[in-house]
Amino acid sequence: MSSAASGSFGNKTTDIMKTNEFEVLALENTCLQDENAELRKMIGLLHENLQLRFTLKDRHRRARSLSPTRKQEIASKDPQKIQQCEQFVGEIAFQLDRKILCAVFLEGRRLYGYRVADMDKKIKQVTTCALTGKVNNELRSELYLRYHHTMDQLKELGYDLTVHPYFTEYLVNTYGVMNEKTREKHYSSRDLQVLGKMIIEYMPCDKVKDILVILNCLAKLTKQDGEGMFPW
């Protein structure tokens, strides 16, 4: 074999080795990025769980501080009325979170797994290409604009970003949401004033203020989207 041919073969072999090394490094880099993303996700979940734990701990403490008179007053109420009110409260909390998410991400997007408490992180996630890491700055700006516009409106009604996103989740997890049968049964009880009066009468007084904030926020967003407080 001539020296020229030998040199050409050697160069090709070197190029192949470099290509393989590049592919291996690229694969390792992708794996590291995935692991890093998972770690950030776990850290974020731990942080949110701590925040929720502190919030609920404070609310349980306030619940224990209810006067015996108020506890007896609630206990003396019609259990069916209390259950009905709790069902509405869970549904109100669920519908508010849904409307907030739809106001930011719009109806066309599937919102399964989205949380109002995760809004900032979710906006960054959906505007970043998972493969290249490239940021869609135009979309990100649009989402943040809708997010801040929505939150500014709700803050005027007493909505607190450090409390109410977690409080609504607590209400949904505690009281659940209405099923189809329950919705039909209480269809006529959806008036804002009727709901407010029911909440004041049947919910523990330490929760009433925050629940009314959630109800008023739901009514505010309802006027904007025209869907009704409960789209069923």
> pLDDT 10s digit of each residue in the chain, 232 long?
555 555 555 555 555 555 666 666 666 666 666 665 665 565 555 555 555 665 555 555 554 544 555 556 666 678 888 998 999 999 999 999 999 999 999 865 677 889 999 999 999 999 999 999 999 999 999 999 999 999 999 999 999 999 999 999 999 999 998 876 666 565 555 678 889 999 999 999 999 999 999 999 999 999 988 887 886 5
Angle between helices 79-105 and 119-126 (to 10 degrees): 40
pLDDT at 219: 94
Number of Cβ atoms within 10 Å of the Cβ of 210:
21
CA distance 194 to 187: 12
Number of Cβ atoms within 10 Å of the Cβ of 103:
19
Segments making up each domain of the chain, as ranges: 1-67, 80-227
3-state secondary structure at position 128: strand
pLDDT at 7: 54
pTM above 0.75, yes or no: no
Q: Which residues of 53-72 are buried (b: 16+ CB within 10 A; e: fewer)?
A: eebbeebeeeeeeeeeeeee
Q: Give 22: exposed, middle or buried? Use CB within 10 Å, 0-12, 13-18, 19+.
A: exposed
In three-state form (DSSP H/G/I as H, E/B as E, the rest C), the secondary structure along 22-40 is: HHHHHHHHHHHHHHHHHHH
